[in-house]
Amino acid sequence: MLIRKLLLFTAFCLAGSAHAISVDEANAISSGDTDARIEALNKAVAQADAGTAVFLQALADDAVKLVRGKAIMVRDDKGIDPATGAEFGLPDDAEDVINNNRMRGEIDSALAALKLFSKDDKVRMAAVQQMQSDADPSKLALIEQALKAEQNPKIKDQLALVRAAALLGGEDKAQRLEAAALLGSSNQSGTKTILLAHLQTEADGAVKAALGKALREVESRLAWGDKLGAVFSGISLGSILLLVALGLAITYGLMGVINMAHGELMMIGAYATYVVQGLFQRYLPGAFDWYLLAAVPVAFMASALMGVLLERSVIRFLYGRPLETLLATWGISLMLMLLVRTIFGAQNVGVENPSWMSGGVQVLGNLSLPYNRLVIIAFALFVLGAVAWLIGKTRLGLFVRGVTQNRPIASCMGVNTARIDTYAFALGSGIAGLAGCALSQVGNVGPDLGQGYIVDAFMVVVLGGVGQLAGTVYAALGLGILNKFLEGWAGAVLAKIAVLVFIIIFIQKRPQGIFAMKGRSAEA
């Protein structure tokens, strides 16, 4: 609402310098039957002047009234003549201008057409994208005028497609054939809709054949966009599964603890991110775009400390009894959910993306790569690299690997296995917190956040091989991509079932997972 008021105020400010719309044009656009009003609107838009834009913006904002058949604009309870800009008192008998849905659509389309002459590239591109779905021959002169003036090559190419879409509605057969050929080179999903609509109404055989050929070319190009989009969605889902399963692979692989509270540790990381966001909004609003950098270590520490508390108070007494650890951690997960519901409420809370994570990269007409997803993929790779370095290159990692392979011998060599268990559990819990921080950027945060990922995380760990980081990576990305391709073919529910059946069959054939545990263990 504030933006619309600002636009309206700007429009009235411009009214003093450009009043090209006449009284008769304003009256014809504001009153009469809808067809006549639309015809008058298209004639006025063809002039492409600022005065017309001012009046149409006022009309779109319901700031135009009729006084004894004459259209006037209204601001601050004062009337303004659209042709001269003169102000006068608003009469008591002023009547509202009624715009039905069809008229409002035409007004919005006309305003978009007039924005083709904006000095801002983003405004012009947005106007072109809006016109792609509703270009008509009545705006052809305006489109061609904008096409001649356009200097940005990317916008010019898109505007040429809008012109082609407008030509399809004309009477000239040669122009319609030209338009069909031009639209065949488009990679926009809206072009397919335009071609389908004109295929149903086109009577000329040659034009219809050209439209059919163009449609096949566009569908082939869009099919590649769909395939690449499924791959990207699969990698995005796989990166989230990797973050969720990475910590579980450490705790489950090292200690054999079936931690059903792992999802709730992830939930704690997400709520820690929400708390940091609130603190920045209240105390550091100017630095809000950087709150996520502060939330990452806070989410890690919050979940890691909770992991230490659970390990030292409950889990340390249940080592070697996997069924009891499963039941105990399941009870802990319920307690953590109730604790969060008590503190934050049962409703989901929203975590905003920083401005640098908003938007995305437009690769194809039907393929956009959101920045928040790209950041999460990069973040997952960074966490994976950090964990691999920690496990493979540090003294702590050496102790962890030693305890994993043979706990009694590691203890005989002087390794404090109980402390290593605590460190490892804290590390796995902290990584779960990082997963929660990442998930907060792609959806709402709620008490049930972890429940949707815990089963998938266990499937990733088991499929990849217990305690194997490389297996976790392959399993996470593989399941993510497989799930997205199956969703497009069979739907989300059947895709989940198919993935589960695949994992069951795979584990039957290869119980150790993709990668078997290297070395000897005490239980071997």
Q: In this predicted structure, what is the pLDDT of residue 522?
A: 39
Rg of the Cα trace of the chain? 31
Q: In this predicted structure, what is the pLDDT of residue 271?
A: 94
Q: Residues with Cβ < 8 Å from 237, sequence gap 6 or more?
A: 480, 481, 483, 484
Residue 35 and residue 248: Cα distance in Å, rounded?
Answer: 65
Residue 320 and residue 481: Cα distance in Å, rounded?
Answer: 35
Amino acid at 170: G
Q: What is the 3-state secondary structure (H, E, C) of 311-326?
A: HHHCHHHCCCCHHHHH
Cα 153 off chain centre by: 27
Q: In this predicted structure, what is the pLDDT of residue 15?
A: 40
Predicted structure pTM score: 0.69
- Of 181, 199, 25, the residue nearest 110 (C-alpha): 25
Instruction: Provide the residue ranges of all domains of the chain, joining segments of one domain with +.
Output: 2-105, 118-203, 241-352+399-509
Q: In this predicted structure, what is the pLDDT of residue 275?
A: 93
Q: In this predicted structure, what is the pLDDT of residue 20?
A: 58
- Of 321, 327, 279, 276, the residue nearest 298 (C-alpha): 276
Q: Residues with Cβ < 8 Å from 346, sequence gap 6 or more?
A: 446, 447
Q: Residues with Cβ < 8 Å from 369, sequence gap 6 or more?
A: 232, 360, 361, 363
Residue 272, class by beta-carbon neighbours within 10 Å (0-12 exposed, 13-18 middle, 19+ buried)? buried
- Of 275, 239, 256, the residue nearest 478 (C-alpha): 239
Q: Which helix (H) or strand (E) holds 239?
A: helix 205-255
Q: In this predicted structure, what is the pLDDT of residue 306?
A: 93
Residue 25 and residue 44: Cα distance in Å, rounded?
Answer: 7
- Of 69, 136, 132, the residue nearest 102 (C-alpha): 136
Would you write out the chain's pLDDT as a tens digit for each of its 524 residues? Answer: 433 443 443 444 434 444 457 888 888 888 888 888 888 877 777 666 667 778 878 888 888 888 877 888 888 778 888 777 788 877 777 888 888 888 887 787 777 777 777 777 887 887 777 776 666 676 777 777 777 877 888 788 777 777 777 777 777 788 788 788 877 877 777 777 778 877 777 778 888 888 888 888 888 888 888 888 888 888 888 888 888 888 888 777 666 778 888 889 999 999 999 999 999 998 988 888 899 999 999 999 999 999 999 888 888 888 778 788 888 888 998 999 999 999 988 888 888 888 888 888 877 767 788 888 899 999 999 998 998 898 888 888 888 878 777 778 888 888 888 888 888 889 989 999 999 999 888 878 888 888 878 878 888 877 777 666 777 888 888 888 887 777 767 776 777 777 778 777 877 777 666 765 554 443 44
Query: For 386-402, b where at least 16 C-beta lie within 10 A, e where not — what string?
Result: ebeeebeeeeebebbbb
Show the tokens assigned to 483: 């799930």
